[in-house]
Amino acid sequence: MNLNKEFRSEIPSTKVDHPALNDAGVTLFINRLDLTHPFLSGNKYYKLKYNLSEAEKQGHDSLLTFGGAYSNHIYATAAAGKIFNFKTIGVIRGEEHKPLNPTLSFANKCGMKFYYLNRKTYRSKTNPIVIELLEDKFGKFYLIPEGGSNALAVKGCTEIVNSIEVNFDHVCCAVGTGGTLAGLAAGLAGNKKALGFSILRGASFLNENVSSLLQSYSKKEITNWQINFDYHFGGYAKFNIELINFIEEFERQSKIPIEPIYTGKMLYGIFDLVKKGSFTSGETIIAIHTGGLQGLAGLRDNISQLKNEI
């Protein structure tokens, strides 16, 4: 399997010019992982890369994974299945709704089959009884966890560090399940610091998730990372007009498209910490653009409604 097929190997890091950064003497670059591939972009390629290799090694022709109806991971897994000739099954949180939203419509066109679980059952999705039910329905499959985060995903995400061609003091990313942050911390090999920004509310469990992922990958303690929990804007897929205004201003100045679920929250957090003096003058930050722009199609109505309420 040619895992690098169709993927952009040289990832640019774009310098951001902004008065707040200039005033603080801090330099910010955006690592443009969103440009790796039209459909399998951002951190998803790195998370899936070695899982796909392992699935092939074990003789699987089907991938099964979990996610919400607007999940970047569902979208990316469906795309990966089409590119690398795997059948794909998406176990979707919640009830079925027709017509399909843009995320699920794309996944369906890629050949993904859907199985819907009510929210109560979905919370027990890793229970052996639920897995057995899925095996009875779909047969043999290679299981990829929600968000794609496991030891193989951490291995892939260590390679993100190699895509950064500028010197830096801190590397930042949004955190949903913890795999990307764990990979960055491991890839830094203790030489620099990795800072994650939780996109979930009340998510102190993410500290344990990242520690567990690092232990399963490296078998040793890695401590050059931390998670900030102050910029979730109410929780997963939640945002307000303040965040939307920030994103629109950022896009006007930088010409870099971002979204309000992951990268937008991280960047808002970075700028707020810069203004508060949390970074030292002369330091350089690299922020990982983890993609997810596909989700904007399903958010347009919510964003328009927010603007109309002003």
Mean pLDDT of the 57-79 span: 96
C-alpha–C-alpha distance, residues 95 and 10, integer Å: 41
CB 270 within 8 A of CB 172: yes
C-alpha–C-alpha distance, residues 292 and 266, integer Å: 13
Give the pLDDT confidence score for residue 303 in this predicted structure.
67
Give 144's DSSP letter.
-
Interval 47-56: pLDDT, tens: 999 999 999 9
Q: Which of 180, 142, 139 is nearest to 43 (CA)?
A: 180
All structural domains of the chain: 13-38+150-308 (3.40.50.1100), 43-148 (3.40.50.1100)
Give 7's DSSP letter.
-
Residue 23, number of CB atoms within 10 A of its CB: 11
Mean pLDDT of the 97-106 span: 94
Check pLDDT > 70 for residue 301: no
Check pLDDT > 90 for residue 308: no
Check pLDDT > 90 for residue 309: no
C-alpha–C-alpha distance, residues 55 and 88, integer Å: 12
Check pLDDT > 70 for residue 5: no
- Report strand pairing: 284-288 vs 27-31: parallel
Query: Is cis: bond before 99, omega within 30 of 0?
Result: yes
Got the DSSP string for 191-234? SSEEEEEE-STT-THHHHHHHHHHHHHHSS---SEEEE-S--TT
In one-letter notation, the amino acid at residue 202 is: G
User: What percentage of residues in the chain have a pLDDT greater than 90?
Assistant: 87
Give the pLDDT confidence score for residue 7 in this predicted structure.
74
In one-letter notation, the amino acid at residue 108 is: N
Check pLDDT > 90 for residue 114: yes
Give the pLDDT confidence score for residue 307 in this predicted structure.
60
Check pLDDT > 70 for residue 181: yes
The backbone torsions φ and ψ at residue 60, rounded to the nearest 5 degrees and listed phi first, read -85, 145
Interval 220-261: pLDDT, tens: 889 999 999 999 999 998 999 999 999 999 999 999 999 999
Check pLDDT > 70 for residue 290: yes
Residue 62 region, left (φ>0) first, then alpha (ψ -120 to 50), else beta? beta
Q: In what helix (H) or strand (E) does residue 30 lie, and over which residues does it extend?
A: strand 27-31
